[in-house]
Amino acid sequence: MKVLYDFSLITDYDVYLFREGSHCRLYEKLGCHFFEDGAYFALWAPHAKQVFVFGDFNGWDKHSLPLKRREDGSGIWEGFVEGVKKGQRYKYHLYTSWGYWTDRADPFGFFHETPPGTASIVWDIGYQWQDEEWLKKRKDINHHKAPISIYEVHLGSWRRVPEEGNRWLSYRELAPMLAQYVKEMGFTHVEFLPIIEHPFYGSWGYQITGYFAPTSRYGTPQDFMYLIDYLHQQGIGVILDWVPSHFPTDGHGLAYFDGTHLYEYEDWRKGWHPDWNSYIFDYGKGEVRSFLLSSAHFWLEKYHADGLRVDAVASMLYLDYSRKEWVPNQYGGRENLEAIDFLKKLNVCLYRDFEGIQTIAEESTAFPMVSRPVYIGGLGFGFKWNMGWMNDTLFYMSKDPIYRKYHHNQLTFSIWYAFSENFILPLSHDEVVHGKGSLINKMPGDYWQKFANLRLLFGYMWTHPGKKLLFMGGEFAQWREWNHEESLDWHLLDYESHKGIQRLVKDLNRLYREEKALHELDCEPEGFEWIDFHDWEKSIISYLRKSSDGDLVLVVCNFTPVPRFDYRIGVPREGFWKEILNTDSYIYGGSNLGNLGGVYAEDIPFHNRPYSLRLTLPPLAVVIFKWVGRDSNPRPTD
């Protein structure tokens, strides 16, 4: 077995783009590329004195297969090793300028050993995709005017097999089960917590070492492609959680890679994240920017992902984020200008190359124009998580209803900024861990009131402007906090109260999809109009959702356990207003108090509208009405 040096996948133009920070397809150049007669290896390690590749193919001899440094100053070492076979493990052996040796996994590896193993695996990522029809219509399904309702999933704990040692399901086992459930529930997309290779399972995937490989815990790269392909064929979009903000300190990973701070900032005040005990990428280095751009590009091109949810954007934007000691930028400010430039470049690159995809920012500050185009000064994301709505709403809902009138502003404030960004309303995994309690356990009151409050929360969320995201388990009111080591408590669906919550989420998703007024103008102020937000004494709010072609949906929320009879609401149109959903219905576990299918508008002006409705408002409930016209037959027949 020998190394050949007369073969290379890298051109001078690749080197130029790599160093400039503009290369979006480094996965075609660096890493391990398998051929019939061997494999080509290329590694960026500019400060290493020597680099060897070793593995199963040479008996793990660390010094028999040297790579050669390119003479163009790129810092890339390369070589073609004859006789390498698919499935063989390998690592790189580097001699640093500090005089010590270090063994590293391939930063561009397509497949890695299952942890605690740390070697990379020679692999190809060919796959015969069958999702052409999905890709053709994706731009309409992912559009800002489309109904987007996301089911957030952690693959290792959605379902498990207790009969087989509580093992998790493989990618291929998950595919039909997850697709069927998501379709039945009416969600339009799934969002996977990071499946990118990570050594510590308890990090949930947020401490990544293999930025170009799905975790091998659940199968091969092709198995993960099959899962996405299957979901697409069932009409379900796939969003991947992606973490360009920080990376772990593991010795086989990116940290101090070639004996220097290669991927991370050298100054610990910029390069170390105290919250997560992890390193921060050096966004000022062109090669690091190219590495991250290529990783994002890779998941959209090779795995047909429909979007990326970018984690911890706020920590990237600010140099003083969660720090006592920090270094200001060149103008004396706190913004990380290099990270901001990278995020803009990332979004321009992805939206340019992939029709119909979306990038989503998890950004918790008031940084402006996160989801506005780069050409008008924005960061270029398609959507942003509405963390303000989430925090205010959960704070409000946790209060005993008797005190809610003193916190009425927590409900109404979100509309002041609801259209400043393209928002997604997230009830994510972060809200049901670390002692925060499950959603149902956040709700005050006795057993019945807890479920009524949760139904109220979901009804309010699904009618509030913004796309929707719900973490698994919330849809059937799991009592326990999420535990990544165990399956969800599916047995709870044997109880009618939990089944009622699940039924409600299914119906809310159906209504959200079917009613243009509830989704078409989610991101535009023309889609929302207050009827009344002043009734803080009774903790009642009412508003209209509107479509571009004149559809009207009226939403009335009663945040107390007191039913209200003959409660008058002003409306803009005469005729019949059909009650299309009532969270207090008995089929959801409620008291079945309502409006007998709908109400005729009376010729009594109210709330500055020419007509009004006289309603019955159930306790701790949302009632939703649709204007169906002046001459409609209001009463359903048996």
pLDDT at residue number 633: 54
Tell me whether residue 71 is one of the annotated catalytic residues.
Answer: no
For residues 554 and 569, is the Cβ–Cβ distance under 8 A?
Answer: yes
CB-based burial of residue 99 (10 Å sphere; 0-12 exposed, 13-18 middle, 19+ buried)?
Answer: exposed
For residues 593 and 584, is the Cβ–Cβ distance under 8 A?
Answer: yes
- The answer, yes or no, to whether residue 630 has pLDDT greater than 90, is no
Q: 526-629: what fold?
A: Immunoglobulin-like (2.60.40)
- The answer, yes or no, to whether residue 635 has pLDDT greater than 60, is no
**pLDDT band (50, 70, 90) for residue 535:** very high
- The answer, yes or no, to whether residue 634 has pLDDT greater than 60, is no
Ranges of beta strands (E only) in 287-446 are 307-310, 358-361, 383-385, 423-427
Question: In the predicted model, what is the mean pLDDT of residues 592-602?
Answer: 96
pLDDT at residue number 539: 97
For residues 95 and 128, is the Cβ–Cβ distance under 8 A?
Answer: no
**pLDDT band (50, 70, 90) for residue 412:** very high
Parse the chain into domains and list their residue ranges. 3-121, 147-519, 526-629
Residues 6+ apart with CB under 8 A from 499: 476, 493
pLDDT (tens digit per residue) in 175-209: 999 999 999 999 999 999 999 999 999 999 999 99
- Could you tell me the CATH superfamily of domain 3-121? Immunoglobulins (2.60.40.10)
For residue 419, what are the CA distances in angstroms to 212, 523, 627? 35, 5, 25
- The answer, yes or no, to whether residue 495 has pLDDT greater than 60, is yes
Same fold, 3-121 and 147-519: no
- Could you tell me the CATH superfamily of domain 147-519? Glycosidases (3.20.20.80)
Percent of the chain with pLDDT over 90: 97
Catalytic residue among 131, 152, 338, 362: 362
- The answer, yes or no, to whether residue 211 has pLDDT greater than 80, is yes
What is the spatial distance between Cα 561 and Cα 564, in angstroms, rounded to a whole number? 9
- DSSP-assigned letter for residue 378: S
- The answer, yes or no, to whether residue 470 has pLDDT greater than 90, is yes
pLDDT at residue number 128: 97
Rounded to 5 degrees, what are φ and ψ at 26? -65, -25
- The answer, yes or no, to whether residue 638 has pLDDT greater than 80, is no
**pLDDT band (50, 70, 90) for residue 57:** very high
pLDDT (tens digit per residue) in 346-388: 999 999 999 999 999 999 999 999 999 999 999 999 999 999 9
Task: State the chain's mean pLDDT as an integer.
Answer: 96
Tell me whether residue 241 is one of the annotated catalytic residues.
Answer: no
pLDDT (tens digit per residue) in 322-331: 988 999 999 9
pLDDT at residue number 309: 98
pLDDT (tens digit per residue) in 234-252: 999 999 999 999 999 999 9
For residue 614, what are the CA distances in angstroms to 19, 128, 172, 598, 603? 68, 59, 53, 10, 11
Residues 6+ apart with CB under 8 A from 494: none
Percent of the chain with pLDDT over 70: 99
**Residue pointed to by tokens 């999933």:** 153
For residue 401, what are the CA distances in angstroms to 10, 439, 540, 591, 620? 65, 16, 11, 18, 9
For residues 238 and 306, is the Cβ–Cβ distance under 8 A?
Answer: yes
Rounded to 5 degrees, what are φ and ψ at 473? 95, -30
Q: Do you find a cis peptide bond into 116, omega within 30 degrees of 0? A: yes
pLDDT at residue number 1: 82
- The answer, yes or no, to whether residue 317 has pLDDT greater than 90, is yes
pLDDT at residue number 417: 97
Catalytic residue among 311, 338, 363, 392: 311
The two structure tokens encoding residue 527: 């889609």
CB-based burial of residue 589 (10 Å sphere; 0-12 exposed, 13-18 middle, 19+ buried)?
Answer: buried
What is the spatial distance between Cα 68 and Cα 42, in angstroms, rounded to a whole number? 9
- The answer, yes or no, to whether residue 631 has pLDDT greater than 80, is no
pLDDT at residue number 510: 98
Residues 6+ apart with CB under 8 A from 213: 109, 110, 111, 112, 196, 197, 221
For residues 226 and 171, is the Cβ–Cβ distance under 8 A?
Answer: yes
Residues 6+ apart with CB under 8 A from 584: 452, 455, 590, 591, 592, 593, 594, 618, 619, 620, 621, 623
Q: Identify residue 471 by its one-letter amino acid code.
A: F
